Structure 1
Amino acid sequence: MDTAPIPYAPAQVIIACVGHIDHGKSSLVEALTAAGSTDRLADEQRRGMTIELGYAFASDGLEPACELAFIDCPGHERFVKRMIAGAFGSDGALLVVAADAGMEAQTLEHWEVLQLLNLPWGRVVLTRCDLADAEQLAATSSAIAEAVAGTPFADHPPLAVSSRRGDGIAELRSWLFGQARQRLQRPLDGPARLAIDRAFQLPGRGTIVTGTLSSGCIQRGDELVLCPGTGARVRGLQVHGRDVDQARPGQRVAINLARVEVAAVPRGTWITSPDAVMESRCIDVHLQPLERGIRHREVIELIHGTATLRGRCYLDAGVDLLTQPGPAQLRLEQPIFAAVGDALILRRPAPPANLGRADILDPAAKPRRRRQTAQARAARPEQALPAHLLQLAPAGMALDDLRRWAGGEGPAAAMLAELGPHKRQYGPYIWSEASWQQLRSCLLACILRVLEQEDGRVWVSLGELAHKIPAIPGKQWPLLMEGLASDEELQRWQQSLTAPLQIPTMGKRLRQAAEALMDSYQAAGLSPPYDHPMLAQQPDPSNAARALVWLRERGHLVALNDRQHLHRSILESAIAELLAACAAGQGITVQWVKAQWGLSRRWAIPLLEWCDRQRLTQRHGEQRRAGAQPHYDQPRFSLDF
């Protein structure tokens, strides 16, 4: 990385070469690229078999240049998971079958993987055609045609080649470049995501990791995130041995990382832009099982990029064996770092076998009991957001979490657009309409419990609601109050809520006590007795104490403090007179209040302090001036008398 870097390397198309062991995959890649053997390990060269993924490149030399990046996948049955990791980020594939041997065990297993990956194009290549007679060649071609029927691999007939003599190599190379040039354009936006398949150290360089950049761009100096792990800075970039300033989607990339030890980046680690993926041990998926099916609670291995994780598959209630596409939940022993729409290959660990493909619907699902009715889950990942929001209800979802959940700004915006008017957004949080209605139902139920259990109560404070509904973070409550302001069944006053249509009415005796108490406070004006002596004067003191709470909560009496109340109408008249004096330039003092209404200090001071708390007035030294509120706005509910 000493030479001056170029802005970016030519576009690449990645091709996985898969097939049974000793069917000539490495020799084919060597013949197509003239790059020498892809078996770089001493053990591979000694044993004459591919153990690790091998890489080689070929360019057509035209302008603009097109490069083929070949991944030579191991063919031994013990290394199927490495083969899957190599094929995962590929654009297309070559299914390599020896003409003189035909389709063998790993040929069929690798073919299952290619079908599960849904690669858009590929071709069957018959190697060692110089060792097969015409009858063998015809039999192998016929068996292959039957196996690949109805897939993109059937669009072109198997091509017979000989890597040793060069037969068919030029034709195959020409066909590959023709396919590649149709697929050079890739979107450059979105978060960067790369699954690390190799990590090593170079003297004077530090840690180098390699992998296929599946989305987004990476530039020198970028701050990225290791999953799992911490942050890392991009010190340098190479694509096909050339220093570049920027790596683009679909390219095989070598990244020189600063502040990272090689032991911290084993195979299977993801390196991403910040906030690109969710970390979870529980995911909802849409399964596409193979014919053998997947059983409820079956132990599985899943391959995600280059990572292999273990867990169990949980099917919906009443389903013990899934043989058709359907929903499931995967609970994992290690965390997965994923986004909506990510593909997974599922395998049975013992005896080893492919089980199917899973597409992630919810990368941060909550474990569910099987006997619970499963929520409706979409068959397509892009339809999964409403179900996820309903699962999170009543808490809603932060937009930052949505970007991680969806896999970037673009996918998140597309999901929100798909929701259209069927969503609510207040501040940095969103709810689907269904989850918002669930939130309303939860709030109504909580308020109703308070109204039923606490005699006379009307208002429930945000603090009480937050304590009773801990699923909603405290910082969301002010935003919720905005959203609920226009709700017909809920009413807000300051930092409290009530359900006006559910407020209970008074009984006959309580109504009589309330009428008598209202008359007493109205007759007393601005200087009634303290609450205790006032209640003692009533004809029915025990019901009068209850009536005091009912009247205060419904806005007919106003509490200046915990022992002094005033009649609402008398207080409003005093407020209007006080604010008019402020508007005329009068400085409001305790002495002014005493003189204006003939009050003692024990009523004048509480009245002014109450006005300050309600922001009707604002204190400046010994004087008060008009505050932010032009009037007292507590809703007044009918007492039905």
Structure 2
Amino acid sequence: MKRHFTIGMAGHIDHGKTSLTKVLTNVDTDRLKEEKERQISIELGFAPLYENEDMQVSVVDVPGHERFIRQMIAGVAGIDLVVLAVAADEGVMPQTKEHLEILGFLGIKKGIVAITKIDKVEEDFLSLVKGEIMLELEGSVFENSPVAMLDSLSGKGIEDIRQLILDELGTLEPRDTKGPFRLPVDQVFTVKGQGTVVRGTVYEGSVKEGESLIILPNHIETKARQLQIHHKPAMQAFAGQRAAVNLSGIAKEEIRRGDVLVSSEHFNVTKCLDVSLRSSSDLDHIVKQRTPIKCYIGTSEVMGRIVFFDRNEIGAEHEEVLCQLRLEEEIVTKRGDRFILRRPSPQETIGGGWVIDPMGDKYRFGTKTIEELAKKKAGNPKERIISALMEEKGLSIQDLIKRTSLNESEVKTVLDQEEFLSYSSGYYTAQNIIENVTEEIYDRLMEYQQAFPMRPGINKAEAVQAMQDAFPKSLLDFVLKRGEEEGAWKRNGQFFSTAVFSPHVPANWSKRVEGMLQAIKAEGLQVKYLDNYMEDAGIPDTLRTELTYFFTEQRLLVPLDGQFHLSAERFDEAVAKLKSQTADSFEVGAAKEILGLSRKFIIPFLEKLDSERITRREGNIRVWVK
């Protein structure tokens, strides 16, 4: 399956992020008048970097100025890999360090260090500059990252970093395209004649044109009227892609940055979150109990307060603290989502972490609450098993024991619940995974039938191979058989199709095809080449092979050789006539006389009888076998 990734350009203001993005993509992401006048990035900028049949890569250029930290967090939250731009003539700046810490809090694990503007430094000093920069990056996500030396103006090192980006992305697992669709909105605008459009990075799942969607947290129903990926129309958008979605029936004022576009009510809308928090190592001010905070999660920015249960304040200790965020507005989140906390005044990054439970409750101060939060953080046995199965789709009991650190008894107790089922000699999966696979198979059957309406269905091997990267083969075999038994689809030999599907000629060609079949039938046994009939009927070359296959499979025509095709009705009539006027065997001459055919037609006709095992040739005679 095609993989979709978004990479981020981060770093201090004027360290060459936008210039590097432009030289890699040929797109100037500073599109606003104010950005061009001030020569700094204010809003997020997006551009397509690379695409082939296996991978599509987008770039987000995040603002580096400290006043635009909100946009920086919103941009980085949805990316898979970060390119950190550090100017060779300035090195790591204070703002760079804050960006580094934010990236760590957001769980970014893959990075590339781009040392920019190398033409501004004497070549002899470049190795020294590189050493100093990497020394400053020790302890960050970039400590062991590959390094690219480049200059965007002269073009030095540009192709090297392009290849380095692709190599690093090649080692990453793609985002989950099978779960419910989620797109945190970071831009809202209107297009004349089209209406409201939102943009964002698809966090998970996928969305199709025409699909019903929900805008959270306000639960507004809408539809994806049209989709675009980098200004190009698309029928579907997948996790990891930057997407613009034209929404139907929604005014621009009804949606804002921070809202989330989803395909189901699966996601939590909440104002109270149990979290795991680490404070910033550069924290200048003590954070006290119920300190006002700004919480950044996804693309939302919400005011709230922090609540501790085992202390009254934190400093720059950087140790993990289990606590709670009580927000003033509802947000959309789920377990495992990353967040950043900043102090409104004086402005600074407090810290960041991840959501343990999006639906937190009110707890008493004390160690008992911390113990309960620690259990939540570890996850109960069921949550651990679901998490492992969602990653691998199907596992044995022994595999689950290894992956969850549970004992055999705990694993079996959970697997006995109705949400789980066994398949393929001791392997287990979850019911919602079965539902996802079933939906994926059904969608593929529908797409194949629309593309090839004259074929009996998709070949099983082809269907399994196309999905084997996402799901184990044994699971696909199980779902295919189960779907067949339950009537979700049907099987004809090695071909699968939806239950109500029958191979048919496309409606726009049916009249011409019917006329052509009637013409062949009217000419009996002395027909022209099939191509001649197709040409007379105006059938294009691109459709002829598919039509010939369809006629043969549906036994509308009987091929005598590569050129002549008889109406099946006329062929059957001729066989019956020949059989009624001959004994147990006959010679070619007798067949010619009975059917009134020349040698040009009788030889292919009799050879067809042999190949169909209607007759058996013995020297100069043919013997009826059925």
Task: State if a TM-score over 0.5 links the two structures.
Answer: yes
Q: Does 1:311 align with 2:304?
A: yes
Query: How far apart are the structure 2 equivalents of 1:298 and 1:99?
Result: 39
Query: How far apart are the structure 1 equivalents of 2:382 and 2:272?
Result: 15
Match in the other structure for 2:241? 251
Give 1:101-120 correspondences, 5 Å limit: 101-120=90-109
Which residue identity lines up with residue 12 of structure 2 in the other structure?
H
Query: How far apart are the structure 2 equivalents of 1:352 and 1:387?
Result: 41
Give 1:312-351 correspondences, 5 Å limit: 312-321=305-314, 323=317, 324-351=319-346
Query: Alignment partner of 1:250: what SS?
Result: coil
Q: Select 2:6's aligned residue among 11, 14, 24.
A: 14
Alpha-carbon deviation of 1:93?
0.5
Asked if 2 retains the 8 angstrom alpha-carbon contact of 1:103 and 1:140, the reply is no
Match in the other structure for 2:348? 353
Gaps of 5+ in 1: 1-7, 389-402, 429-641
Alpha-carbon deviation of 1:138?
4.3
Give 1:472-511 correspondences, 5 Å limit: none
Give 1:368-447 correspondences, 5 Å limit: 368-370=363-365, 373-374=368-369, 376-377=371-372, 379=374, 383-385=378-380, 420=411
Structure 1 residues 167 and 83 mapped into 2: Cα distance closer, same or farther (>3 Å)? Answer: same
Match in the other structure for 1:92? 81
Asked if 2 retains the 8 angstrom alpha-carbon contact of 1:343 and 1:358, the reply is yes
In terms of Rg, which structure is larger? 1
Match in the other structure for 1:133? 122
| Larger deviation, residues 78-87 vs 136-145 | 136-145
Query: Alignment partner of 1:194: what SS?
Result: strand
Q: Does 1:267 align with 2:267?
A: no
Alpha-carbon deviation of 1:368?
2.2
Q: Select 1:241's aligned residue among 226, 231, 234.
A: 231
Query: Alignment partner of 1:154: what SS?
Result: coil
Asked if 1 retains the 8 angstrom alpha-carbon contact of 2:230 and 2:243, the reply is yes
The TM-score with structure 1 as length reference comes to 0.58
Query: Alignment partner of 1:155: what SS?
Result: coil
Which residue identity lines up with residue 317 of structure 1 in the other structure?
D
Which residue identity lines up with residue 56 of structure 1 in the other structure?
A
Task: Write out per-residue CA displacement over residues 442-489 of structure 1, whole angstroms, 9 at most, x where no aligned residue.
Answer: xxxxxxxxxxxxxxxxxxxxxxxxxxxxxxxxxxxxxxxxxxxxxxxx
What percentage of aligned pairs have identical amino acids?
A: 31
Query: Alignment partner of 1:153: what SS?
Result: coil
Asked if 2 retains the 8 angstrom alpha-carbon contact of 1:317 and 1:373, the reply is no
Task: Write out per-residue CA displacement over residues 161-192 of structure 1, whole angstroms, 9 at most, x where no aligned residue.
Answer: 11000001010011111222333644321111
Alpha-carbon deviation of 1:333?
1.1
Query: Alignment partner of 2:134: what SS?
Result: helix
Query: Alignment partner of 2:369: what SS?
Result: coil
Asked if 1 retains the 8 angstrom alpha-carbon contact of 2:50 and 2:57, the reply is yes
Query: Alignment partner of 2:102: what SS?
Result: helix
Q: Does 1:364 align with 2:359?
A: yes
Alpha-carbon deviation of 1:32?
0.9
Task: Write out per-residue CA displacement over residues 254-288 of structure 1, whole angstroms, 9 at most, x where no aligned residue.
Answer: 11111111112211111112212112211111112
Structure 1 residues 139 and 302 mapped into 2: Cα distance closer, same or farther (>3 Å)? Answer: farther
Asked if 2 retains the 8 angstrom alpha-carbon contact of 1:190 and 1:409, the reply is no
Q: Select 2:196's aligned residue among 207, 221, 240.
A: 207
Q: Does 1:47 align with 2:41?
A: no
Query: How far apart are the structure 1 equivalents of 2:128 and 2:67?
Result: 28
Asked if 2 retains the 8 angstrom alpha-carbon contact of 1:378 and 1:384, the reply is no
Q: Does 1:145 align with 2:145?
A: no
Query: How far apart are the structure 2 equivalents of 1:171 and 1:237?
Result: 33
Query: Alignment partner of 2:202: what SS?
Result: strand
Match in the other structure for 2:434? none
Aligned residue pairs: how many? 403
Asked if 2 retains the 8 angstrom alpha-carbon contact of 1:359 and 1:381, the reply is no
Structure 1 residues 328 and 136 mapped into 2: Cα distance closer, same or farther (>3 Å)? Answer: farther
Query: How far apart are the structure 1 equivalents of 2:324 and 2:394?
Result: 26
Asked if 2 retains the 8 angstrom alpha-carbon contact of 1:29 and 1:72, the reply is yes
Which residue identity lines up with residue 171 of structure 2 in the other structure?
Q
Gaps of 5+ in 2: 420-626
Alpha-carbon deviation of 1:100?
0.8
Structure 1 residues 382 and 191 mapped into 2: Cα distance closer, same or farther (>3 Å)? Answer: farther
Alpha-carbon deviation of 1:150?
4.9
Structure 1 residues 318 and 198 mapped into 2: Cα distance closer, same or farther (>3 Å)? Answer: closer
Task: Write out per-residue CA displacement over residues 289-339 of structure 1, whole angstroms, 9 at most, x where no aligned residue.
Answer: 222374432221111111011111111234532631121011111112111
Which residue identity lines up with residue 305 of structure 2 in the other structure?
R
Q: Select 2:25's aligned residue among 7, 12, 33.
A: 33
Alpha-carbon deviation of 1:384?
3.5
Alpha-carbon deviation of 1:48?
1.2
Query: How far apart are the structure 2 equivalents of 1:152 and 1:380?
Result: 28
Which residue identity lines up with residue 90 of structure 1 in the other structure?
I
Structure 1 residues 209 and 147 mapped into 2: Cα distance closer, same or farther (>3 Å)? Answer: same
Query: How far apart are the structure 1 equivalents of 2:382 and 2:174?
Result: 33
Task: Write out per-residue CA displacement over residues 115-148 of structure 1, whole angstroms, 9 at most, x where no aligned residue.
Answer: 2222121111111111122476445423321232
